[in-house]
A and B are shown apart, each in its own frame.
Chain A
């Protein structure tokens, strides 16, 4: 059973990343050292496989925290919705 008081964030994957990861969203408990967008990305990459490939340094990944485009040093806190996606191609 998950500890209901554990710090969790909602992760959302879009477009190519949703297909690569095989899921559109998940809720994860984040360890204490994951306090920023860049730390979250590195932590997810440690899952290996497609996670390591898609989130490797140098791969163009955009991240939004609570629906606003984030920078690598943007804080990530419990309860946040963090979305990972490729560079956008609308218009």
Chain B
């Protein structure tokens, strides 16, 4: 299963090594790591809690990976997303994609991140000096995801 939801941290080097382990057809590995910022919307973030919708989350992420596979000739993909309590600088998410050549890996990795941010059921709640608040969705994330369905879709 190329999708994992977990509270524990992950070791990027080990995960990417295992993703391409023993497969000599792999010529490119692209990876995205999302981390917790200490400032968001002008407020200092002391910590955050990530909530998800068990049951749907795994299905949504697997569907996004399947979608990427149908669009690009990739060899494998991995998504690890953390939930629970996180502090600034902590790793939140890892997306890794392997392919024969870099173009497919770069594109599929960006696509998976863009779709994850707009379609996978995760929510962030930040602790700030003025209290706890749910993070608001950003229009820029919807626009980033919409690029993949427009007529100007990047050629694979």
Which residue numbers of A lie inside 8 Å of B, CB to CB?
12, 14-16, 60, 64, 67-69, 83, 85-91
Contact = CB atoms under 8 A, between A and B. Distances in A.
Contacts of B123: 14-16, 85-86, 88-90
A64 B56 contact: yes
Nearest to B51: A15
Nearest to B55: A67
Interface in B86-136: 92-93, 113, 116-125, 134-136
Query: Main secondary structure on chain B at its contact with chain A?
Result: mixed
Contacts of B59: 67-68
Contacts of A89: 117, 122-124, 134-137
Nearest to A19: B134
Given A68-B56, A85-B123, A90-B124, 4 more contacts: A67-B56, A67-B60, A89-B137, A91-B120
Contacts, number: 74
A64 B57 CA distance: 11
Contacts of B120: 88, 90-91
A18 to B, nearest CB: 8
Contacts of A14: 51, 53, 121, 123
